[in-house]
Amino acid sequence: MKICIVRSDRMGDMVLTLPVIQGIKQKNPQAIIHVVTSQKNLKICKQFNLIDKIYEKTTSSSAFSNLTKLISAEKYDYYFSFSPGWYGLLLGFFSKSKFKSSLILKSRYKSNVFSKFWQIIFSKIFFSISLVINRFQSLETKENIHQTIMMMDVVSKSKLTISENIKTEFTFTNVFTLKKDEPNKFICVIHLSSKWINNYYSEDDFEDLLRSLKDKNISIYLTSDETTKNKFSKIFNIYPVIDNPNNLHENTENILICNNFDFENWTSLINQANYVITPESGCTHIASLTKCKLAVIYDADNSPNSIRQEYAPWNKEYLAFETNDKELNQKLLNFI
């Protein structure tokens, strides 16, 4: 049996799809699973040994044409389009899969009869199963709309057996080992996303948090992304910046900025951390695959309860905070 899964969007979405792949494999050990993924998710897929083949999504028309030929030639038994938008639907249309299924999510912010209207019509005509979720309505009626649960529901409705209550078996490979100057010294990774800074929380508030953390006997590694320097110019002027992981051991400061680490080095840091503190982002879901204690901060202005319900780390204990919490710093200090 051959299966194709399209998950060509964000890192967190891909991590939340891993339990679906594992659940299918547990019930169907002989299944061959291929994944169409985005460039960001490619490295996650490469480290998950239950995926048999990976296709990378590219945006050019010629690349899409070539991919449709490759997908068509595979003649899958099952095809699942889990990513939003037209890409997975059109790829499925050109595939020669025996059974095609899609997941279409309507807006979580408002009720709109015409939301995803043409995608729904297209999917109802050309796909065997089209699961349309009105997220706004489902949240009001307190239905479970966790991303992983919804994808598993699509698989079940497609008459393909799947194990549902599982924990993702994923192991990161550490490309370096952090050296501790004291055997029992804890490691904390804090992800410097721009999502920290908002109407409720400033860079000065974040600096207060770091000053308080200095009193604890821990090593703090601040990791960056493409949004970091726009919001944390002061922090970058105060603390040492490490651009090369090989230089981590040359600096004895308790707080270091790990700037622009590539995926392998970034995940190696997270994988060795005792604590991870991050706004809701891809870092949340990478950390959920490790043994760390996890704290996730949700944007109070972006439906935090609904975001949490839909994107909560899968089968991982964690603490949830919101940006408008006036005691956020103290609660984070208590977390560690």
SS percent in the chain: helix, strand, coil, step 5 = 40, 20, 40
The per-residue pLDDT for range 273-293, each reduced to its tens digit, is 999 999 999 999 999 999 999
State what percent of residues in the chain have pLDDT above 90.
77
**Residue 113, SS3 per DSSP:** coil
Cite the beta strand spans of the chain per DSSP E.
Answer: 2-7, 32-37, 53-56, 78-81, 99-105, 129-133, 186-192, 218-224, 241-242, 255-258, 275-279, 293-298, 318-322
**Nearest residue to 174 (alpha-carbon basis) of 88, 63, 254, 264:** 264
The per-residue pLDDT for range 236-270, each reduced to its tens digit, is 999 999 988 888 877 777 899 999 899 999 999 99
Please report the pLDDT score of residue 183 as a whole number: 66
Sheet holding 78-81, edge to edge: 53-56, 32-37, 2-7, 78-81, 99-105, 129-133
The per-residue pLDDT for range 94-115, each reduced to its tens digit, is 999 999 999 999 988 888 878 8
Report d(CA 216, CA 218) in Å as an integer: 6
pTM summary value = 0.93
**Residue 110, SS3 per DSSP:** coil
Q: Which helix (H) or strand (E) holds 336?
A: none
The per-residue pLDDT for range 284-336, each reduced to its tens digit, is 999 999 999 999 999 999 999 999 999 999 999 999 999 999 999 999 999 99
Q: How many other CB atoms are there within 10 angstroms of residue 268's CB atom? A: 20
Please report the pLDDT score of residue 181 as a whole number: 65
The per-residue pLDDT for range 116-161, each reduced to its tens digit, is 999 999 999 999 999 999 988 888 888 889 999 999 999 999 999 9
Q: ∠ at Cα 233 (230, 237), nearest 5°?
A: 155
Residue 229 pLDDT > 90: no
Please report the pLDDT score of residue 165 as a whole number: 87
Residue 179 pLDDT > 80: no
Q: What is the DSSP letter of 194?
A: G
Residue 182 pLDDT > 80: no
Report d(CA 109, CA 3) in Å as an integer: 33
Which two three-digit tokens encode residue 271? 């994988």
**Nearest residue to 323 (alpha-carbon basis) of 291, 286, 278, 283:** 278
